[in-house]
Each structure stands twice: as structure tokens, then as C-alpha cells.
Amino acid sequence: MDYATIIEILDSSVRLGTPLLLACLAGLFSERAGIFDIGLEGKMLAAAMMSGAVAYVTNDSWLGLLAGIGAAMLFSLIHGLASITFRGNQLISGVALNFLASGMTVLVAQSWFQQGGATPSLGPGGRFEPITLPYAKAIGAIPGIGPIYQNLISGHTILVYIAFLCVPATWWVLYRTRFGLRLRAVGENPAAVDVAGVSVIRLRYSAVLICGLLTGAAGAYLSTSLASGFGREMTAGRGYIALAALIFAKWRPWYALGSTMLFGFFAALSYRYQTLDIGPLHIPNQVMEALPYILTVIILAGFVGKAIPPRAGGEPYVKER
């Protein structure tokens, strides 16, 4: 494996890790506020379909992104309504949304485009094009760090850079603003927040809406950057991997960056090598594809550090009994 190959694999990891990162941060906001969200997958799927459809019709990737975010936020609102207002079981609501998205995306796409539940391929305007950062060529000529800038950092679509900026932004919102403090508190001890005179309901709704915003961007990334157009079940379990990454990251933004990029790296590696040979070991790529889940189980079992979820997570808040 030479240097250029390593850079190429890392570049591919970034591309494949970005939707995971966005979805993971989405889950982080929601779960930190005490709303478990197993429906990341469904929201991404709905967003991917809507943004693919709108980007195709308008030939404008930004409108596609907006439509995707809109679809995901709608799903978030349903989740919020079921689990916050009506105090339903959050897991059941999430699973229901996943099924809803899985069936509805194909149904709607089929009735709009008659292409077997896919959207047509997007033209040049409908996709986010890779951006070449300034001086990429000049700096790329420098041996050693040059290729890192030219091939790894430059040449991604705008959504990738937005996703990476979301990490410090999330950290800042959660740990440096009043809203963030309250959001974290509402996930740990909603009664205390309530006693302080802050609305638990409103905080939790804003958290699920932010979750919708980010999953919307993740879904739009899938259909307008990574691929060109929506295809049936195109999220392919990425929502669940993002959940695994969230647990792996122990519900922290910077760790989330690390874990999603690690999982993206596994995916890139398994795409690149059919079998990986490490000395005498033969590792088939199914093992690589399963690694995120295996690692999550290991973390949950408490072998590597301890993952403690927000204490009030999964429980609807009841003001008085």
C-alpha cells in the first residue's frame, strides 16, 4: 500500500463518512434532549427521496437540499408529536417512521416518475459539484503534505465541508450556550429544568427539529452528492450505523467525528479490498462491513470505556402524576 493509495482510501472514507457524521450529530441533538431516535434511517431516506425529486424537477441542488430538510423535519415533527406531546414509546414511533419512509419513498417516487421507485438521474445543476479549494494544484506539488491538501481536503462537495463545520458548531451550541446547557439538562433531569421555569416540551421539540435539519442534509447528500438521484432503500442501513457511531462516541460531538470517520474508513476499506490480507490473516470484506456493529456491541458491553446514555432518554416527561 503506497502513500497515494492511503490518501485515496482516506478520501473515500471522508465521502462515505459524511452522511454518517450528519446523521450522528442529528441523533446526538435528539438523544441529548432525551428523545431516542431510531428513525434516523427513515428520515434520511425520506430526505434523499425528496431532495432527489426536487433537484431533478428544478435542476437546482440547493432547492433539493431544502426539500430534503423539509421532508426530514416533517418526519421529526411526527416523531415529536408521538413521543413528546402524546408521550408514546419513542422506539416504536421511530421504527414506525422507518417503515413508513421505506414504503412511502418508493410509492411517491413511482407515482411521480414511473421509474420503479427511483428518481431519474440528475443533470449537472441538480447535483452538488466537488469544490476545488484555492491553490490546490500549487500546494499539491509539495511532497508529503501536498497530496493531503489537494486530494484529501480539497475536492469534496459543499455538504462535506458543512458537515465538518457542524462538529465545532454542535460542540459550541451544546457546551457554550444557554440553550445547550438546558438541552443537556432536559435529557438528564427534565423535572429540574421544568422547576427552573423552562419549557421541557419546547426544548425537546427544538431538539427533534434540529435532528430533522441534520438528517435532511444527510439524506440530500446521499442523493445529490454521493449518487445522482434517489434509488430504492438507498440509505442501506446508514441510519443504524450512525446510531452505532453515536453510542461509540458516547454522545459527544468530537468523538462523533472520530467514530463516523472510522466507520467510513471501514466502508472505504471494504469497498477497496475484496479481502484484506494482514500477514497470514485473510479478512473477508463481510467482516469489515459488520465491524461497526461488532465494535458497538463491544463498547456497550463495557470492554472499552463505558457508554452512558442520557439518563432521561427514552422516557416521556410527565409533569405531575
Chain residues in the site for another protein (CB under 8 A):
4-5, 8, 12, 15-16, 115-118, 121, 222, 226-228, 231-232, 234, 236, 268, 271-272, 274, 286
Q: Name beta bridge partners: 156.
A: 131
DSSP assignment of 295-315: HHHHHHTTSSS-----TTTT-
Q: Which three cell numbers stand for residue 312?
A: 432521561
Q: Which of these, 167, 199, 215, 207, lies nearest to 183 by C-alpha position?
A: 207
Please say which residue, 101 or 234, places its beta carbon nearer to another protein.
234
DSSP assignment of 178-239: HHHHHHHHHHH-HHHHHHTT--HHHHHHHHHHHHHHHHHHHHHHIIIIISSS--TTTTTTHH
Please say which residue, 252 or 272, places its beta carbon nearer to another protein.
272
143-147: Cβ within 8 A, 24+ apart: 147/3, 147/4, 147/7
Please say which residue, 179 or 293, places its beta carbon nearer to another protein.
293
Please say which residue, 82 or 268, places its beta carbon nearer to another protein.
268
Beta carbon of residue 142, minimum distance to another protein (angstroms, whole number): 20
Please say which residue, 186 or 234, places its beta carbon nearer to another protein.
234
Beta carbon of residue 94, minimum distance to another protein (angstroms, whole number): 23
Q: Which of these, 192, 187, 195, 292, lies nearest to 237 by C-alpha position?
A: 292
Please say which residue, 12 or 189, places its beta carbon nearer to another protein.
12
> Can you tell me whether residue 119 is helix, strand or coil?
coil
Please say which residue, 117 or 310, places its beta carbon nearer to another protein.
117
Beta carbon of residue 279, minimum distance to another protein (angstroms, whole number): 21
Contact partners, residue 216, CB within 8 Å, separation at least 6: 43, 47, 51, 65, 68, 69, 70, 71, 72, 73
Beta carbon of residue 119, minimum distance to another protein (angstroms, whole number): 11
Please tell me the distance from the alpha carbon of residue 43 to that of residue 109, in angstroms, as a whole number: 16
For cell 468530537, name the residue: 254
Beta carbon of residue 303, minimum distance to another protein (angstroms, whole number): 30
Q: Name beta bridge partners: 281.
A: 278
Beta carbon of residue 8, minimum distance to another protein (angstroms, whole number): 4
Where is 164: in which H helix or E strand?
helix 158-176
Beta carbon of residue 265, minimum distance to another protein (angstroms, whole number): 13
